[in-house]
Structure 1
Amino acid sequence: MAKSKATILIIDDDEDVLLSAKLLLKKHFTNILTRNSPKELNQLLSTEALDVIILDMNYRIGFNDGKEGMYWLKHIIGIRPQMVVILMTAYGEVELAVDAIKEGAFDFILKPWTNEKFLATINAGLELSKTKQKVSLLESANDALEGNISQKFGPVIGSSSAMQKIMKVVDKVSQTDANMLILGENGTGKQHLAREIHRRSSVKNGPFIHVDLGALSENLFESELFGHKKGAFTDAHEDKPGRFELAENGTLFLDEIGNLPYNLQSKLLTVLQDKKVSRLGEGIERPFNARLLFATNAPLNEWVSKGKFRQDLMFRINTVEIEIPSLRQRPEDIKEFVNHFLENFRTKYHKSHLKINEDALKILDEHHWPGNIREVQHTIERGVIMSDGHEIRITDFNLSSRPAANDGIEKFDNLNLQDIEKLLVEKALDKHEGNISKAAKELGLTRAALYRRLEKFNL
């Protein structure tokens, strides 16, 4: 008979009891720990992934009042409210054991025990322990996913030759477990493509956990990704699994990987190599099984050569690399996005009669779209909201103040994209008199992304 995968801790001051229990239980469970004193509990709770604790009620010779057992029971429940604790007690202490159950114990075993009763009680406790662990992970995953409930992610849009090539790669690699790096400017649809890869993968029925590393401060990085133990820091009021654990049997999408500070890159590399995480404030190594996807708008290869991004981490995350071209590089897809968002927002705002007039369509087709798909979405939504009557006009979009598709391009005979990008950054800074926040918003970038471009172009 195969052993049940579980770690069971037995605490009793009688060495004969410990030996008898261990000999019985090791035939049925994978990991049996024994201790003759509960004084090591704090260390064990921090270093072992315990499923069930079997706790004796008395540890001092001549004392049979069970006070020590009650003290340590409350101590365990205070640290790990979900821990399953089974008490061992003599016949005359049954009433005390019943009181202990009211304090949080799962059940009690009378000494001397029968093997059948002993095993039945532990199996029942183990089943409850596994259920509690699953419920805890599901609740945490639900919290992590709540922010995505209102978002709709349909099929990837775009029939241009560039997108067709990308989707062929997606078809090849989605069913594998290869790490993938998705590159592209802000607003090009990197998260959307990541979700499409998840939908086509073998773990499509598992969770899709999205982490924006650009939004995490250094002091939250380990807690959010790896989880933390209760009391690990001031606001750690309960045990919390990290995103790696929440993505178990699913996909973990680490967005804006380029924003990860250099000193934290080695920690991420270690986790990716070992496929294990340790919660902050805890020494237990927890294996994880999740498909890993990464994305960034940063020039990582350039940063590797400059020593800003670890080369070994780069090798680890980009087994397969996909770069989504900007919308200006695939203008044939613009109309598809316009029609898609128009249909969505006509329904949302109950304006099913609306259409875009010819002059407005021409402006949309010629616009440079520095914010890519995200800018198209916001522009169409504004047009639907601001329109009166049956048509959306040019003035409803408010695109006049934004760079036109050919704005300044005539200065570059070779149409070099980096030169054009530099020009757009300069124009946005000039327009907003050096205000980084406003310039970044105009360009459809985050402040961090704009700062990287300022450094890149020595502006």
Structure 2
Amino acid sequence: MTILVLDDDADIGIAARLLLQRRCGPVLTLQQPAQLLAALRSQAVDLLLLDMNFLPGRSDGAQGLALLQQVLALPEAPRVIVMTAYAEVELAVQALKLGAFDFITKPWDNARLLATVQTALAGRVADDDGDVKRPAEESAVMRELRRLLATVAPTEAPVLLLGAAGSGRSTLAQALHQASAHTSEALTVLSPAAIEAPEQTLAALRGGSVLLDEAFALPLAAQQRWLAALIAREALPEAPRLISSSQLAEAQLFDVQRVLPAWLYRLNTVVLRLPGLRQRREDIPRLAAQFLAQAAARLNKPPRPCSPQALQQLQAQDWPGQLHQLRQACERAVLLAGGPRYEIADFGLADGAGETGVAALELGGETLSLQARERAAVAQAMNDAQGNISQAARLLGLSRAALYRRLEKHGF
């Protein structure tokens, strides 16, 4: 995979090359926008990092937007990540509407840039011969979610993330934080139901962003207490950016026996909804390629393409465990694959895997998927309890605190 960086600041290109070349492949750099189209026609480029302003004193991004349209009109167009300053987020939104894959704000966070680049590069699929590569299409619902994130991230509006367990709420929260004005400080994750003193906890926060995970898994009285603590905290200096999440169905949020309306309205100024994989099957090839590449790098295994037949069958699964279940299946494929390509058998999907998830891997009588089984049990209990922490804990025979530790452990 080849990356091209176009920025009139030579230091930007050097920094990008030092960060990305060892992890992602060759990185080429340009400083003159007039050279871009010729460079793309003369060599295969998979990903372009494109600055939006090249003229001194200009910040409207007109030149960058024009280049973006010209690049995307090429027969073998690379994916494009645009690079903007924090004050130019509206420009990034325009670029997304024109077809850019994503945007990065400068100065960038290395982890955020690396993750964005890896995601863009992973979204390539092979033809039936496994040779020619083309961009995997992103679902319309995810393109719209990406556009909304770019619009909302630089504001101070409270954001509520809704989605099933394993759908990627924590990842979206991190993306919101990284694209906000608070990115130089930490994203603090709090589980309200596990905190007995919200007043002291919130008062100690200074700047950054805070994620209230499963914000509605509280008795009504506790919701009232958190609401009062939050209102008091907002009057103090350096209030953090507020993000909250829930796996409750949207209709359940308006059940006054479950959710205090004032608590809901304090948190849901903007609502971002993460669809399950069943609602965006066209994203599965891109996600599978990303998870396979990440697992291969982490486990020191050779990279392999995924056969078209395997991709088709992965798309046909329902994936009730969402992204986590798909990621586990990809990790198993990386561990077990022996051929030149990943085949569906490598993923260890049980019969009817759309319902039961990843099959256990047995070796000498020892199960290598104990964590996967524990996670599946937690996911099943949360599903049966419709997100009610107390009820799920009873089903599992755990205390609420013990269940919260397992939810955090498995990334719910």
| TM-score tier after normalising by the smaller chain length | 0.5 to 0.7
Task: Provide the residue aligned with 1:260 in structure 2.
Answer: 218
Contact 1:357–1:393, Cα closer than 8 Å, also in 2: yes
Task: Provide the residue aligned with 1:269 in structure 2.
Answer: 227
Deviation string 1:197-255 (CA, Å, 9 cap, x unpaired) is: 111111111111112346x2xxx432xx444xxxxxxxxxxxxxx36524x11100011
Deviation string 1:147-200 (CA, Å, 9 cap, x unpaired) is: xxx999823778211011112221222111111101011111111111111111
Q: 1:221 to 1:300 in 2, by over 3 A?
A: farther
Task: Provide the residue aligned with 1:310 in structure 2.
Answer: 260
Task: Provide the residue aligned with 2:181 in structure 1.
Answer: 202
Contact 1:153–1:192, Cα closer than 8 Å, also in 2: no
Gapped regions of structure 2 (runs ≥ 5) = 1-110, 121-136, 358-370, 392-412
Q: Distance in 1 between matches of 2:378 and 2:309?
A: 24
1:401 Cα deviation after fit: 3.4
1:402 Cα deviation after fit: 4.1
Contact 1:170–1:197, Cα closer than 8 Å, also in 2: yes
1:328 Cα deviation after fit: 1.0
Deviation string 1:98-139 (CA, Å, 9 cap, x unpaired) is: xxxxxxxxxxxxxxxxxxxxxxxxxxxxxxxxxxxxxxxxxx
Q: Name which of 191, 196, 208 aligns with 1:221.
A: 196
Q: Distance in 2 between matches of 1:442 and 1:381?
A: 16
Deviation string 1:5-53 (CA, Å, 9 cap, x unpaired) is: xxxxxxxxxxxxxxxxxxxxxxxxxxxxxxxxxxxxxxxxxxxxxxxxx
Tell me the C-alpha RMSD between the 2 structures: 3.5
Q: Name which of 392, 410, 419 aligns with 2:342.
A: 392
Matched, 1:249 2:207: yes
Q: Distance in 2 between matches of 1:400 and 1:359?
A: 17
Q: Distance in 2 between matches of 1:402 and 1:152?
A: 37
Q: 1:249 to 1:441 in 2, by over 3 A?
A: closer
Gapped regions of structure 1 (runs ≥ 5) = 1-149, 228-241, 278-285, 408-423, 426-436
Q: Name which of 113, 138, 154 aligns with 1:175.
A: 154
Aligned residues: 251
Task: Provide the residue aligned with 1:448 in structure 2.
Answer: 382
Task: Provide the residue aligned with 1:295 in structure 2.
Answer: 245
Q: 1:453 to 1:292 in 2, by over 3 A?
A: closer
Q: 1:311 to 1:374 in 2, by over 3 A?
A: same
Deviation string 1:298-348 (CA, Å, 9 cap, x unpaired) is: 125424334211011111100111111111101111111011111111111
Q: 1:167 to 1:356 in 2, by over 3 A?
A: closer
Contact 1:187–1:373, Cα closer than 8 Å, also in 2: yes
Q: Name which of 272, 295, 301 aligns with 1:351.
A: 301
Q: Distance in 2 between matches of 1:152 and 1:353?
A: 21
- 353-362 or 260-269, which moves further after superposition? 353-362
Q: Distance in 1 between matches of 2:377 and 2:286?
A: 22
1:91-110 to structure 2, matched below 5 A, reads: none
Q: Distance in 1 between matches of 2:252 and 2:142?
A: 25
Q: 1:244 to 1:381 in 2, by over 3 A?
A: farther
1:353 Cα deviation after fit: 3.9
2:204 counterpart letter in structure 1: E
Q: 1:450 to 1:153 in 2, by over 3 A?
A: farther
Q: 1:243 to 1:360 in 2, by over 3 A?
A: farther
Q: Secondary structure at the match of 1:258?
A: coil
2:260 counterpart letter in structure 1: R
Task: Provide the residue aligned with 1:188 in structure 2.
Answer: 167
Q: 1:189 to 1:351 in 2, by over 3 A?
A: same
Q: Distance in 2 between matches of 1:347 and 1:440?
A: 26
- 265-274 or 152-161, which moves further after superposition? 152-161
Contact 2:215–2:245, Cα closer than 8 Å, also in 1: yes
